[in-house]
């Protein structure tokens, strides 16, 4: 056609035609596609500049050549046939739609093309124009997209959990086979392209879900609401017993990615764990209850053992021989040891069941240290250990603590320092540290120390750090109690120890917040109590009413008082009767058991305090429950003193003496 165009250029001039020709030529030359025009025989009659560029030929090389020169050899025969066919019914259309078409460059390389064909009516007959576009770039991009999407699909497929993607119109875009295997049962045909409503309704019809009594409409609404507003997770139950957790997240395009986990195993494990935990808790609390009531039960016979042993020891009417006294000493020592064990176990079980209460108040450290020193002194001297108490710096004068428990902790530390000390060594109690909020009280020794491998466990119950088989008595619960008590009081404990060199244990307790000296709270054990009603009575006998229901305790008290000729003891088994007896007989002292059937010792004492006829009569509480909670109630009840069982005879005697002597001039009649 180039030739015909040229010829056209030489045609008789007419300005309009020339202009048209020029414009067309330029249009053809600048077209982005390669334009090739062929005649009925398939010969190239016109090409543009883009054809030269695309196929690597010069125009002259192409004109007059068969069009098949631009086609890879293997397609040529086929192409020639099609070409002939096309000339029979020529119309504008894309060539070989659905086929991958290729062009052949002069250098023999191929490239993908897209071709559109159109017939041209000319004076010389029908020609065919083909616009050829190089689509290598597009094909490459498409292949890349395909690769990315294939990778994505195989990643999605490889996920074991169910996964589905919905578009903003709530239609499924893709899902993996795990998802399909559950939901396809409810959907006929392809699942992709279905809306969430269609998939859900299909699943409901197929009975895939166990709605657990929830009406289907409510269940459906819950699921669709979650799809619309995916906050948190949605838990479902399948009818074959699986537990599923759905997590939906919104995509940037406003669609939803839905992940469904099968949590059947987790749910089962969680349930098993809960059951196991409940069982363990029940067992642990049963154990603590058992220990607690057992210890209580053990204390009662121990009362008799220790009480009567003390009576024998002090029996003036028929004194024991030296030998008997020595043996009795063993009974008492064993009994006291047993008592300490029981108290420890009781403490531990109280702490574990959360029944241990502490009453915090500002406590003077020096006073507690002095108290602890006097308690430990006999033990230290028996062990040949020097007990040293350091001076307490003024600024560390007070801590917030439960006085009794604070002392108990230091006694624990101190008795360990003595037990695990070496004869001739030293145990030192002192205040250390400069923390403005805390006071550290440390107990150090130069004893056997604790091997490193045992150090991590010594605050755990029943851990004896290698002493299990040694000669030193212990249970391994002292430090556990110490740590828990310290924590109950808002404090903490710690230690350092070097095997063979010694140990240092400490407790950190908070200082009182208020700087003002607190008024000492009235405390039953320190209260001034009622003035002794006996001061003026000279040699008269003293009436004591003992309210107690336990026969062995009654027998013990009878025996004890029988030693004192001028004490008249009346025993009453219930508080209800007891207080009436007190009102009628106006005794000098009442000894009150706390755990009585019916009215308790507290209530009875309160009553006595409130009646004008009895309010002046001192009441000594005697209780097996050495509980701190009890002690706080002591103040309310208004006891003169609170003593714990097993009765320490000397303690009871001192108290009675104090009461009977009043101004100190009278002595307990003997």
Residue ranges binding ligand ADP (CB under 6 A): 416-417, 420, 445, 447-450, 458, 463-465, 467, 474-480, 503
**C-alpha distances in angstroms, 626 versus 328, 346, 615, 638?**
26, 10, 25, 17
* Least CB distance to ligand ADP at residue 487 (A): 15
Nearer to ligand ADP, 95 or 411 (CB): 411
Distance separating alpha carbons of residues 210 and 153, to the nearest angstrom: 31
Distance separating alpha carbons of residues 347 and 479, to the nearest angstrom: 12
Distance separating alpha carbons of residues 592 and 602, to the nearest angstrom: 9
Helix, strand or coil for residue 314?
helix
* Least CB distance to ligand ADP at residue 474 (A): 3
Distance separating alpha carbons of residues 264 and 312, to the nearest angstrom: 71
Nearer to ligand ADP, 410 or 458 (CB): 458
- Residue 187 φ then ψ, to 5°: -125, 130
* Least CB distance to ligand ADP at residue 414 (A): 9
Q: Where are the alpha helices (DSSP H) in 353-399?
A: 365-383
Distance separating alpha carbons of residues 464 and 654, to the nearest angstrom: 38
* Residue 578 burial (CB count, 10 A): 27
* Residue 50 burial (CB count, 10 A): 21
**Cβ atoms of residues 478 and 386 within 8 Å:** no
* Least CB distance to ligand ADP at residue 480 (A): 6
Output 436-439 pairs: Cβ under 8 A, ≥24 positions apart. Answer: 436/511, 437/510, 437/511, 438/491, 438/508, 438/509, 438/510, 438/511, 439/365, 439/396, 439/398, 439/399, 439/508, 439/509, 439/510, 439/511
Radius of gyration of the chain (CA): 52
Nearer to ligand ADP, 508 or 593 (CB): 508
Nearer to ligand ADP, 449 or 618 (CB): 449
* Least CB distance to ligand ADP at residue 292 (A): 20
* Least CB distance to ligand ADP at residue 610 (A): 45
Residues paired with residue 229 on neighbouring β-strands, in sequence order:
none
Q: Alpha-carbon dihedral of residues 270, 275, 279, 281, nearest 10 degrees?
A: 50
Nearer to ligand ADP, 348 or 656 (CB): 348
Closest residue to ligand ADP: CB criterion: 474
* Least CB distance to ligand ADP at residue 625 (A): 23
Distance separating alpha carbons of residues 326 and 303, to the nearest angstrom: 20
Nearer to ligand ADP, 187 or 458 (CB): 458
Q: Is the peptide bond before 25 cis (omega within 30 degrees of 0)?
A: no
* Least CB distance to ligand ADP at residue 494 (A): 13
Distance separating alpha carbons of residues 537 and 667, to the nearest angstrom: 11
Nearer to ligand ADP, 46 or 458 (CB): 458
* Least CB distance to ligand ADP at residue 445 (A): 5
Nearer to ligand ADP, 70 or 348 (CB): 348
Nearer to ligand ADP, 413 or 640 (CB): 413
Residue 333: partners with Cβ closer than 8 Å, 6 or more residues away: none
Helix, strand or coil for residue 72?
coil
- Residue 493 φ then ψ, to 5°: -125, 165
Nearer to ligand ADP, 474 or 587 (CB): 474
Distance separating alpha carbons of residues 119 and 126, to the nearest angstrom: 7
Helix, strand or coil for residue 636?
helix
* Least CB distance to ligand ADP at residue 603 (A): 38
* Least CB distance to ligand ADP at residue 384 (A): 16
Helix, strand or coil for residue 444?
strand
Nearer to ligand ADP, 299 or 484 (CB): 484
Nearer to ligand ADP, 169 or 473 (CB): 473
* Residue 131 burial (CB count, 10 A): 19
**Cβ atoms of residues 398 and 360 within 8 Å:** no
Nearer to ligand ADP, 202 or 447 (CB): 447
**Strand (E) or helix (H) holding 26:** helix 15-30
**Cβ atoms of residues 246 and 259 within 8 Å:** yes
* Least CB distance to ligand ADP at residue 454 (A): 7
* Least CB distance to ligand ADP at residue 425 (A): 11
């Amino acid at each position: 056609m180039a030739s015909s165009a040229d010829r056209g250029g030489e045609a008789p001039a007419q300005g309009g035609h020339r202009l048209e020709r020029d414009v067309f030529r330029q249009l053809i030359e600048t077209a982005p596609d390669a334009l090739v025009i062929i005649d009925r025989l398939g010969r190239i009659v016109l090409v543009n500049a883009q054809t030269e560029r695309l196929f690597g030929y010069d125009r002259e090389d192409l004109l007059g050549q068969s069009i098949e020169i631009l086609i890879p050899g293997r397609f040529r025969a086929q192409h020639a046939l099609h070409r002939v066919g096309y000339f029979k019914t020529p119309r504008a259309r894309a060539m070989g739609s659905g086929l991958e078409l290729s062009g052949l460059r002069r250098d023999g390389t191929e490239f993908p093309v897209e071709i559109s064909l159109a017939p041209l009516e000319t004076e010389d007959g029908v020609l065919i124009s083909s616009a050829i576009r190089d689509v290598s770039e597009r094909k490459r991009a498409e292949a890349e997209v395909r690769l990315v999407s294939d990778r994505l699909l195989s990643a999605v497929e490889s996920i074991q959990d169910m996964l589905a993607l919905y578009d903003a119109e709530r239609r499924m875009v893709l899902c993996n086979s795990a998802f399909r295997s559950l939901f396809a049962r409810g959907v006929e045909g392809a699942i992709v392209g279905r809306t969430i409503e269609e998939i859900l309704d299909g699943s409901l019809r197929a009975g895939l879900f166990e709605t657990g009594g929830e009406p289907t409409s409510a269940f459906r609404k819950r699921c669709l609401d979650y799809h619309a507003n995916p906050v948190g997770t949605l838990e479902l139950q399948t009818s074959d017993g699986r537990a599923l957790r759905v997590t939906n997240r919104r995509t940037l395009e406003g669609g939803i990615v839905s992940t469904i986990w099968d949590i059947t195993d987790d749910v089962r494990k969680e349930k098993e764990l809960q059951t196991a935990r409940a069982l363990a808790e029940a067992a642990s609390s049963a154990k603590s209850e058992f220990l607690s009531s057992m210890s209580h039960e053990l204390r009662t016979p121990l009362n008799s053992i220790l009480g009567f042993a003390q009576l024998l020891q002090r029996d003036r009417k028929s004194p024991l021989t030296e030998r008997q006294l020595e043996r009795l000493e063993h009974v008492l020592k064993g009994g006291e040891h047993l008592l300490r064990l029981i108290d420890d176990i009781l403490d531990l079980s109280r702490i574990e069941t959360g029944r241990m209460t502490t009453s915090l108040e500002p406590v003077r450290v020096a006073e507690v240290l002095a108290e602890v020193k006097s308690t430990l002194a006999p033990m230290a001297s028996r062990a040949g250990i020097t007990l040293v108490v350091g001076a307490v710096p003024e600024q560390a004068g007070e801590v917030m603590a439960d006085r009794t428990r604070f002392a108990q902790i230091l006694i624990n530390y101190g008795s360990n320092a003595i037990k695990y000390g070496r004869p001739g060594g030293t145990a030192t109690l002192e205040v250390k540290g400069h923390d403005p909020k805390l006071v550290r009280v440390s107990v150090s020794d130069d004893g056997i120390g604790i091997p490193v491998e045992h150090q991590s466990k010594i605050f755990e119950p029943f851990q004896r750090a290698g002493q299990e088989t040694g000669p030193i008595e212990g249970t391994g619960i002292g430090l556990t109690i110490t740590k828990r008590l310290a924590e109950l009081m808002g404090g903490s404990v710690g230690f350092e120890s070097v095997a063979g060199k010694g140990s240092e244990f400490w407790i950190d307790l908070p200082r009182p917040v208020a700087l003002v000296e607190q008024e000492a709270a009235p405390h039953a054990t320190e209260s001034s109590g009622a003035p002794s009603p006996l001061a003026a009575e000279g040699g008269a006998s003293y009436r004591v009413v003992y309210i107690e229901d336990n026969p062995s305790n009654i027998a013990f008290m009878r025996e004890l008082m029988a030693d004192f000729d001028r004490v008249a003891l009346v025993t009453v088994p219930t508080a209800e009767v007891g207080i009436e007896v007190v009102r009628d007989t106006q005794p000098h002292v009442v000894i009150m058991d706390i755990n009585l059937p019916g009215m308790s010792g507290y209530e009875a004492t309160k009553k006595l305090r409130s009646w004008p006829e009895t309010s002046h009569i001192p009441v000594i509480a005697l209780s097996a429950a050495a509980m701190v909670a009890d002690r706080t109630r002591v103040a309310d009840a208004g006891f003169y003193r609170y003593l714990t069982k097993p009765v320490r005879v000397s303690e009871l005697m001192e108290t009675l003496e104090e009461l009977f002597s009043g101004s100190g001039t009278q002595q307990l009649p003997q």
